[in-house]
Structure 1
Amino acid sequence: MGPFQLTAEFGTWISYLVPLLIGMGFGAALEMSGFGDSRKLAAQFYFKDITVLRVMFTAIVVASLLIGLSSAIGLIDFDALFVNPTYLAPQIVGGVIMGIGFIIGGFCPGTSLVAASTFKIDGLFFVLGATFGIFLFGETVSSFEGFYNSTFLGRFTLPELFGVDAGIVLIGVVFMALFMFLGGEMLEDVFGKKVPADKLRFYPKKPMAWAFGGILITIAFVTAFVGQPDAKRLWELKAAELGPKMADRSVYVHPMEVAELTQNTGVYVKILDLRPQYHYNLFYLRNSVNVTMDQLEDPDYIKSLKALPANTVIFTVSTDDEVAAIGWQMLVAQGVPNVYIIEGGVNNWMSIFTPPPCLAYPKKGERKAEEPAFVFHRAVGDCCNTAYPEIRHKEKPTDCHLESFSQDAAAHSEAGEKKPEAPIVKFERKVKLERKAAVQGGCS
């Protein structure tokens, strides 16, 4: 499933060669389309030559459709692609400035390099000016850094804005592009070719244009019909790649390692508790949050998890670890990084960090999967040492928090004053922080 990590999968030389070939093809296409001629580029703003509009809109629409369709049928993981983060206000201002510069200079940064590569004088001077502008920006950005980083929306796309499937947005984009093609041709006829109004045609002139438009519309509707994959379908698509991690249990982390990480100031630990709320209210790990499976399919919630700092480790936990494993599948399938499962769930946790008998006792007899192994006398939440072993995870829990001082509690507290060391537990450390870089590309 794409995109491919070229260096990891094919080696260093291939990772150099592929971008080089793509860049050569892209540059050649721009030059053949006339993007190295500032007169042709500027003419679009006067509606005299819309070649630039045709080429760029065609590229945008075709790329959008291929990405959308590939994502819908599982050929590519859209979450692994880089999408420029949105800083709304500064990007609007930057767009206005760039537009003014485009009209005056006749180039955008990318097309100026195309012109400079063929030694056009205006292109060379534009590149020099752009380089000097970059230098000035770097020297002065600190004076308006607040505005430069304002109105941050993160990775924000049109489907998220409108709350619809990407295929619906693609249908709108295709019809908008076709309208722009037709409208642009009419404007070119009026302002460039001086065609009289009574001879204008309000439909495409060439049969190929009809065929091309029909293909675009068909692909857009197919993409919308198939729809973007949800968490369950994403896991089915990625099971061959991610499934072995569950089979060899490399993502099942021992509770003692979790306890150590919670006291590591260089790591931010987030625990997602997938148990029913009434089990969670009886006892839960300190700083854990109770979430449902529905939340793990909520795009906004997934987005919030992806926005966590790069040093974040996310753990899923349930009563045992069967439900937690399903939660892990849903998270990693949607591209959430650094997700692990607490091995054995809360039951295993409590067998290692055993609560005092005044709070809970082991359940006797056989029990079903995901059934609590301990019976609590009352709801304790996280008000016992078992819930926060990051404070002293090598000592036996001694905190009873009882309103009435029973004989058993007195004996337990007396023993607790000696603070006996817990048995040493041997385990394999498995957490490895990984920062998954999204594949990115394109021109400015």
Structure 2
Amino acid sequence: MLPIDMSDFGKWIGYLTFFTVGVSFGAVLEMAGFGDSRKLAAQFYFKDMTVFKTMFTSIIVACLLIFLFSALGLLDFSQIYVNPTYLWPGVVGGLIMGVGFIIGGYCPGTSIVSAASLKIDGMVFLIGTLIGAGLFGETVKYYSDFWNSSFTDRWLLSDWLNWSIGATVVAITVMALILFYFAEKTEALFQDKGTVEKAIWNKNKKTYLASAVVIFLISLFIWSFGQPDPKRKWNIMGAQYQPQLDSREVFIHPLEYVKTWNDANVKLVTLDMRSEDEFKQFHLDSAKRFSLEDVVKKEFVFDLLQLPPQGVVVIVSNTEEEAVRAWQWLKVQGVANLYILENGLNNWNQLFSDKVLHLEKIDLTRPSAKVLELFPKDFYKAKIKLKTTKKGAGLCS
């Protein structure tokens, strides 16, 4: 199943692949004329909308293929990296880049293409880009609070609209087709006669319409077929994650849970899937009750996907069997650092109920870290392994 993990092929194969893709991308940009600042700047005067149409073509092609393959069970979308969203810093950065694009005639990528073809203005712009990146890296500490503000990890347009992925794909497709049409008309209206190729809508009207119909039908298929629900995703992808259950590497001992709960560097989320009556009678401190029906709800999973890299999710129930299905369905939806309490709460109560600390019984809902002193250090095997990420800050990070 896609995506392919390039690390399986070795470091140098990965380097060669990335180099080939990068060079090919640059070559295509040059052949499309994107190494010429006059062509790039012409879009801001509505005379040449090639950049706009190229960008939307890329968006639509990628969007349709990704979610078509996902709908057919050929691609695990949760394994595709999506840049985290920093809304207001992104807005400000976009405005700054837009002004620079208008003034300089390039964006950073196209300036590299231009410089590679020995255009002086491209070289000057590239030098300015490097200087600007360096200044940003050295000064970001003075406004780091703003730079890291309004953070949302893996926030899709469908999440913002609160629509299904299929409905969002159809909306984007329709919008793109309409904008393509108006882009052609805009070029015809604003172009300078004799300097820019005339709009070709009328020349290939049938081809345009046929292509538009095909694209629209594909988007409708994605919407009607739908993205795989957790049960269908596990049937498709289960073989990839089942070894983690078979080897019991995701079942953590109660003592490791206690250690993690008392670790200030870890954000622990405890999900209790027992009945409401059982939950009211006894539950671990800060635990949140849920059911399998919640696992298929978009908003429930969305909150878990927003956890920081040091976030750990532990599923608890009376026995392991009840928690395994929840683990399976959450795992295939991309929830990271996901574990199950070993042997459930039945084992938890048996382990701690007769223990005494400083002549007092242990609080079973929130045992302190001192409880660990009652057991040998090798009493359990640590299994929690956190995924960590590092955010860079310019040239000097």
Deviates more, 1:112-121 or 1:57-66: 57-66
* SS class of match (2:163): coil
Residues in 1 aligned to 2:17 and 2:146: alpha-carbon distance in whole angstroms: 38
What letter corresponds to residue 168 of structure 1 in structure 2?
A
Residues in 2 aligned to 1:72 and 1:349: alpha-carbon distance in whole angstroms: 41
Change (3 A) 1:291 1:106: same
What letter corresponds to residue 364 of structure 2 in structure 1?
T
1:435 matched to 2:387? The reply is: yes
What letter corresponds to residue 254 of structure 2 in structure 1?
P
Deviates more, 1:251-260 or 1:336-345: 251-260
What letter corresponds to residue 435 of structure 1 in structure 2?
K
Change (3 A) 1:141 1:246: closer
Q: Tell me by how many angstroms 1:202 deviates.
A: 7.9
Equivalences for 1:272-351 in 2 at 5 Å? Answer: 272-351=271-350
Q: Tell me by how many angstroms 1:291 deviates.
A: 2.2
Tell me which residue corresponds to 2:144: 145
Tell me which residue corresponds to 2:255: 256
Residues in 2 aligned to 1:121 and 1:147: alpha-carbon distance in whole angstroms: 36
Tell me which residue corresponds to 1:173: 172
Change (3 A) 1:117 1:426: closer
CA contact (8 A) 1:235 1:330 kept: yes
1:64 matched to 2:16? The reply is: no
* SS class of match (2:271): strand
1:386 matched to 2:338? The reply is: no
CA contact (8 A) 2:152 2:306 kept: no
Residues in 1 aligned to 2:227 and 2:389: alpha-carbon distance in whole angstroms: 22
Unaligned runs of 5+ in 2: 356-360, 391-397
CA RMSD after TM alignment: 2.8
Residues in 1 aligned to 2:281 and 2:53: alpha-carbon distance in whole angstroms: 64
Tell me which residue corresponds to 1:401: none
Q: Tell me by how many angstroms 1:274 deviates.
A: 0.8
Equivalences for 1:151-162 in 2 at 5 Å? Answer: 151-162=150-161
Residues in 2 aligned to 1:203 and 1:323: alpha-carbon distance in whole angstroms: 62
CA contact (8 A) 1:182 1:203 kept: no
Change (3 A) 1:87 1:118: same
* SS class of match (1:385): coil
CA contact (8 A) 2:48 2:191 kept: yes
Tell me which residue corresponds to 2:50: 51
Deviates more, 1:101-110 or 1:384-393: 384-393
Q: Can you list the C-alpha shifts for 1:160-203, whole angstroms capped at 9, x where unaligned?
A: 112111121111211222222221111212222559xxx99986
CA contact (8 A) 1:251 1:430 kept: no
CA contact (8 A) 2:252 2:384 kept: no
Residues in 1 aligned to 2:308 and 2:168: alpha-carbon distance in whole angstroms: 30
Q: Can you list the C-alpha shifts for 1:113-141, whole angstroms capped at 9, x where unaligned?
A: 11001111110001011111122222333
What letter corresponds to residue 389 of structure 1 in structure 2?
P
Q: Tell me by how many angstroms 1:272 deviates.
A: 1.4
Residues in 2 aligned to 1:143 and 1:183: alpha-carbon distance in whole angstroms: 43
Q: Can you list the C-alpha shifts for 1:63-94, whole angstroms capped at 9, x where unaligned?
A: 11111212222222222222222222232222
Deviates more, 1:78-87 or 1:106-115: 78-87
1:73 matched to 2:72? The reply is: yes
Q: Can you list the C-alpha shifts for 1:340-392, whole angstroms capped at 9, x where unaligned?
A: 11122111222222359xxxxxxxxxxxxxxxxxxxxxxxxxx9533333354
Change (3 A) 1:164 1:268: closer
Residues in 2 aligned to 1:202 and 1:246: alpha-carbon distance in whole angstroms: 57
CA contact (8 A) 1:33 1:55 kept: no
CA contact (8 A) 1:337 1:436 kept: no
CA contact (8 A) 2:259 2:369 kept: no
Residues in 2 aligned to 1:190 and 1:310: alpha-carbon distance in whole angstroms: 51
Tell me which residue corresponds to 2:97: 98
Tell me which residue corresponds to 1:229: 228
CA contact (8 A) 2:316 2:323 kept: yes
CA contact (8 A) 1:350 1:386 kept: yes
* SS class of match (2:268): strand
Tell me which residue corresponds to 1:23: 22
What letter corresponds to residue 2 of structure 1 in structure 2?
L
Q: Can you list the C-alpha shifts for 1:265-313, whole angstroms capped at 9, x where unaligned?
A: 5444332111111112222223322222233233233232233232333
Unaligned runs of 5+ in 1: 357-382, 396-420, 439-444
Equivalences for 1:180-199 in 2 at 5 Å? Answer: 180-192=179-191, 194=193
Residues in 2 aligned to 1:40 and 1:49: alpha-carbon distance in whole angstroms: 7
Q: Tell me by how many angstroms 1:242 deviates.
A: 0.7
Equivalences for 1:374-413 in 2 at 5 Å? Answer: 385-393=363-371
Bigger proportion of residues as helix: 2
How many positions carry a matched residue from both structures?
382
CA contact (8 A) 1:250 1:430 kept: no
What letter corresponds to residue 183 of structure 1 in structure 2?
F
Q: Tell me by how many angstroms 1:235 deviates.
A: 1.8
CA contact (8 A) 1:159 1:165 kept: yes
Point out the structure with max Rg over C-alpha: 1
